Amino acid sequence: MSKQELVVLGQDSADSTDACCSGLLTAPLDEERAETLAKVFKALGDPVRLRLLSMIASRRGGEICVCDLTPAFDLSQPTISHHLKLLRQAGLIDCERRGTWVYYWLLPETTDQLAALLTRPAGATGEAS
């Protein structure tokens, strides 16, 4: 298992809003930006983490207790915690401990940046001339 840290989008001073919001179809990614984004997409590349993110993002009220997440999977609580940690390291979610439980919520600025990256610019057809 890799001990590699994931970089949160928007925390690097070189990671400006303009740079993060230019789409793939408007300009090629530089090497550093591609490596940063690959780490976020890697966090999303696991079905369990993708389901966890979906459960957190779709929760009415914007947050969910880990006690509501764990029963949805046939995995141990430490495994679920590990997946949640990777999502946090990628900057996709955040959490807060309240007593014995931890509550999670989506960080929409990261998912918005990913959506902007993958969105075709207005007026672009995506067809070759």
In a domain, 8, yes or no: no
CATH number for the domain spanning 76: value is 1.10.10.10
CB 62 within 8 A of CB 103: no
Q: What's the number of domains the chain is made of?
A: 1
Residue of 26 and 11 predicted with greater confidence: 26
Q: Is residue 6 part of a domain?
A: no
Q: Give the whole-number percent of the chain exceeding pLDDT 70.
A: 76
**Is residue 58 situated within a structural domain?**
yes
User: Could you tell me if residue 9 is inside a domain?
Assistant: no
* Predicted pLDDT at 26: 75
pTM of the shown model: 0.74
Rounded Cα distance, 50 and 126, in Å: 27
Whether 62 maps to a domain, the answer reads yes
72 in a structural domain = yes
Sign of the Cα torsion 22, 27, 33, 35 reads: positive
> What's the domain range around 69?
17-118
- The pLDDT value recorded for residue 49 is 98
Contact criterion met (CB below 8 Å) for 90 and 11: no
Contacts of 62 (CB under 8 A, 6+ apart): 105, 106
Structural domain includes residue 34: yes
